[in-house]
Amino acid sequence: MPDPTSQNTNEELHTAKQVKLENVGALSREQLTPDAATEPQGHDVAGHDHAPAEDTTPDAHAGHSHGAGDHDHGPAGDHPYLVPGISLALLLAGIALNYVDVAFFTGYVRLAWYGLAFLLVGWKVIRAAIQSIPSGNIFNEFLLMSLATLGAFAIGEYPEGVAVMLFYTVGELFQDAAVNRAKRSIKALLEIQATEVTVVREGQPLVLDPKAVQMGDIMEVKPGEKVALDGTLNGQAASFNTAALTGESAPQTKQPGEAVLAGMINLESLIQVTVTAAFADTKLSKILAMVQDAVGRKAKTQQFITTFARIYTPIVVGLAVLLVLVPYFVVGDYVFRDWLYRALVFLVISCPCALVISIPLGYFGGIGAASKAGILFKGSNFLDVLREIDTVVMDKTGTLTQGVFAVQQVQPAPGTTPEQLLRLVGALETKSTHPIAKAVVTHVGAAATGVPVEAVEEIAGHGLRGTVDGRNVLAGNTKLLAKFAVSYPAEVDQVVDSIVVAAVDGQYAGYLTVADAPKEDAARAVQELKADGIGQVVMLSGDKDSIVQRVAKELGITEAHGGLLPEDKAKYVQQYLSEGRKLAFVGDGVNDAPVVALADVGIAMGGLGSDATIETADVVIQTDHPSKIATARRIARATHRVVWQNIWLAFGVKAVVLALGAGGVATMWEAVFADVGVALLAILNAVRIQRMNFITDNSSK
């Protein structure tokens, strides 16, 4: 068992995992909405990294950066397949003319025919290869494709040169479609952000941009409208559709004074909301910033593949050159054209498209699938880390429990009925703002309304004293009764839960227990984590230890520690880490932020959690359901599985066809399959993540 008094703590808990949110309010709808996702995409020359995984800053080009210039895979507009279609028609017509041996289809006519089909789809690739040279990014897929296809034309293999470039371009269009689908699954979040808001100033309604609204302004929200900014509800209770924020289909009813968040939809009557956060500070804006930050953080696998591609490509070009030159000295019947053809086939096969596109797309798909489930990963690297954890440490209040006190038991003394006890205690507690007092008042309800209460005195650390309906009433802890020399049964001291003990006219009248009830999926969350291979589930809490142990037993947690200060939690977590455990910490309060930062993976409850914890965390669960931790693990494992399937597929097929190409067995057509075909298969495999169901039958929806 870790020693909570250990001095081996991390003094810089917040330095490693802070999210940059300075650009929160600058997100552009034109850049992040699904409409923007339909623009043609390209690939970064240096490492062939897809822009959604690399360049999502507000100033980023809608396409992909290529250093010296931009490369588009086909025509802009609503018909991206039109020009490739024309090229395909010319190619097929040319092959047919060759087959029937038409007299005029020879010489320059044949070259011009195939040259036109080639330029329609290949000129942008060649341009990208040339424009990348000044920046030093010479060895890239554009160079490989350009050399191979122009070389095919040089030796008279026109149809094969056109086919390679055509299928490459069509493959890129399919890749863009897959990326756009993944982008839409994440950026659809922005669709829940209102573009205008009605504000009442000096009695007059004004329609404003949400960024122009000030804290303290009164918003009017009509039935069916989205709430534009965070605030508190005025006037009367109202129901809201919160599905876009939490994934919950059931409407939520908010009482006057309760928090209303941007993105909620008002379901009933006209309401007014007092703004409590500027546009850039709303939970929704911060969630969007987290997503923006997430797609720019690479997993180790992505980093490896990017580095690999930068080393691999020049090696391949060098080997292709050697494949042409070396046989001249060792082969008796050397024919330059034959060996040049083999080298060109070698270049086409070696293009690392399948690896450097499908792997980032796989991680991007994992982040998108998680966002659909109400889980936000702040980077693809955390998908990998979450998959590797073996220990989950959780806070109690607000994480495993509802974070709301409620009366659990009413135990009147002999001669007193439950109704009498509740009426007197409830009326007295209406004069207190303590959370336990509010829980009692909520439980008693209308029974305490209209009961005269006078001469109320709040005794710090003890409770309340006052005159209720003409009787002297005490309500508080056992220290209050001892202070006024009121005797009570000894078993009262053995009660585990928080307790409100009462005395009426100097006589013990009974007690109420108040506790924070576990969330409905808390026990299931613990069971799923254990079934998912988590060896140790631990609960750390600042609540008194007796309550912590009771909740732990109820939820099936074997190790739990209560009565902890934030620094005590940090010492426990530090000790677990020093034992070599891979650890995730789940919390929601401000006091959890240091421990969330310290863990290998910090997980925050995003619905009710504090901003500090949410900003420090690596994973945010929007629905506040602890069972989503196991869901996040399933998504992480599926993403890892798909990514490595793509790696082995690409390496396996390319290794075989490279050997065949060097030996003169494989032609350009096999090369096309090894390059574009494998890339498409890998992309289709990566897209599967978006279609997988990660919610178990008994998980929270």
**237-293 pLDDT, tens digit each:** 888 877 555 545 456 788 888 888 887 888 878 999 999 988 877 766 665 565 555
Number of helices and strands in the chain (H, E): 23, 22
- pLDDT recorded at residue 435: 72
Q: Are 579 and 338 in contact (CB under 8 A)?
A: no
Using CA atoms, how far apart are residues 507 and 488, in angstroms rounded to an integer? 8
Between 654 and 355, the more confident residue is: 654
Q: Kindly report which listed range (44-58, 125-139, 399-413, 601-615) carries the lowest average pLDDT score.
A: 44-58
The vertex-518 CA angle with 515 and 524, nearest 5°, equals 160
Q: What single string gives the DSSP state of each residue in 125-186?
A: HHHHHHHTTTTT--SSHHHHHHHHHHHHHHTT-HHHHHHHHHHHHHHHHHHHHHHHHHHHHH
Confidence of residue 178 (pLDDT cuts 50, 70, 90): low
- pLDDT recorded at residue 193: 62
Above 60 in pLDDT, residue 190?
Answer: no
Between 78 and 494, the more confident residue is: 494
Query: In the chain, what percentage of residues exceed pLDDT 70?
Result: 75
Confidence of residue 353 (pLDDT cuts 50, 70, 90): low
Query: In the chain, what percentage of residues exceed pLDDT 90?
Result: 26
Using CA atoms, how far apart are residues 47 and 66, in angstroms rounded to an integer? 10
* Catalytic residue check, 395: yes
- pLDDT recorded at residue 289: 60
Q: Are 126 and 117 in contact (CB under 8 A)?
A: no
Using CA atoms, how far apart are residues 94 and 163, in angstroms rounded to an integer? 12
In sequence order, the 6+-apart residues with CB closer than 8 A to the CB of 248 are 242, 623, 701
- pLDDT recorded at residue 526: 95
Confidence of residue 25 (pLDDT cuts 50, 70, 90): very low
- pLDDT recorded at residue 37: 33
In sequence order, the 6+-apart residues with CB closer than 8 A to the CB of 211 are 25, 279, 280
Q: Are 364 and 182 in contact (CB under 8 A)?
A: yes
Catalytic-labelled residue, pool 395, 592, 618, 624:
395
- pLDDT recorded at residue 480: 92
Closest C-alpha among 464, 463, 419 to residue 444:
419
- pLDDT recorded at residue 217: 93
Q: Kindly report which listed range (186-190, 252-256, 382-386, 512-516) carries the lowest average pLDDT score.
A: 186-190
User: Mean of the per-residue pLDDT values for the chain?
Assistant: 77
Q: Are 366 and 558 in contact (CB under 8 A)?
A: no
Above 60 in pLDDT, residue 186?
Answer: no
- pLDDT recorded at residue 394: 93
> Whole-prediction pTM value?
0.59
- pLDDT recorded at residue 655: 82
- pLDDT recorded at residue 184: 56
Range 404-433 average pLDDT: 90
Confidence of residue 557 (pLDDT cuts 50, 70, 90): very high
- pLDDT recorded at residue 176: 67
Digit-coded pLDDT (tens) for 447-463: 888 889 999 998 877 88
Q: Kindly report which listed range (14-28, 156-170, 178-192, 311-325) carries the lowest average pLDDT score.
A: 14-28
Digit-coded pLDDT (tens) for 71-84: 343 334 457 888 98
